[in-house]
Amino acid sequence: MPPHPELLLMLLADARLPAAGHTQSGTAEAALAHGLAAAELPGYVSARLASVTCVEAGTAVVARAVLLRSGGTAQLADVAAAWAARTPSPALREAARVQARALLRLADRLWPEAGALQAVRELIRPCRAVVLGAVAAHVGLGAAALARLVGYDDVQTVCAAALKLVPMDPAVVTGWVHDALPDIDQLAATVAELTEPASIPAVGSPQIEAWAQAHAATSRRLFRA
């Protein structure tokens, strides 16, 4: 019997998952270094959900849809290309591809028989969202649940990093995550019905992208991105 979808969501959203998530701050480290106040992080989280995270979630949902209708590597490559076109920052693209490699390695260990993952393996440096879409297609995770996973993971990444970067009460930061849950649900509703690469949202955030590029150029950092 396959695991219950809610339990799979808990597994994939676990910060202890060996998929390089602990090396990321969601660009929060760069934002704080360039003048964002700690008190402004809830707004930063909302801005990410409406922009770069929306692109990630849409990409994952479309990758899942392509694989469920028996799409092969060529169709999945179109999804990856659409994601890259909507992610203009080389630093953000590189971070997503590094995480994808770690996540794919874990997925191969957990589901070595997964046909959906074979198409991803044949791509040249896929992004994390495409790998997540393939995992969702294999384990039977629904589109809305997958989108919520992407959104929740992003919020948790920023908030967990914030606790390492600035002195704060963990209860306050947990409250930020709680307060972001409606925005995560809205994100899921926005992208859950997407099925084609062209329908992936093209929503950018020039400031986040600029911070990501600046962060990539510094050697004094705690997080990779």
Helix ranges, the chain (H): 5-12, 28-33, 41-50, 52-68, 73-85, 90-110, 115-121, 128-139, 143-165, 170-191, 206-216
* pLDDT tens digits along 75-110: 999 999 999 999 999 999 999 999 999 999 999 888
Token pair for 126: 């896929």
Q: How big is the chain by its Cα radius of gyration, in Å?
A: 16
Q: Pick the residue with more confidence: 104 or 14?
A: 104
Tell me how many degrees the CA angle 47-8-18 measures, rounded to the nearest 5: 70
Specify the pLDDT at position 22.
79
Instruction: List the one residue out of 190, 153, 161, 154 whose CA is nearest residue 10.
Output: 153
Give Dmax over CA atoms of the chain in angstroms: 51
Q: Which CATH architecture has domain 24-206?
A: Orthogonal Bundle (1.10)
* pLDDT tens digits along 114-147: 777 888 989 999 999 999 999 999 989 999 999 9
Q: Kindly tell me if the per-residue pLDDT of 59 is higher than 80.
A: yes
Q: Pick the residue with more confidence: 59 or 71?
A: 59
Q: Kindly tell me if the per-residue pLDDT of 1 is higher than 60.
A: no
Instruction: List the one residue out of 108, 110, 95 whose CA is nearest residue 213.
Output: 95
113 C-beta neighbours (distance < 10 Å), count: 7
Name the residue ranges covered by the structural domains of the chain.
Answer: 24-206
Counting other chains too, the contacts that 113-118 makes at CB distance below 8 Å and 24 or more residues apart are 114/138, 116/67
Instruction: List the one residue out of 52, 62, 60 whose CA is nearest residue 26.
Output: 52
* pLDDT tens digits along 65-81: 999 987 677 899 999 99
Q: Residue with structure tokens 């090396």?
A: 23
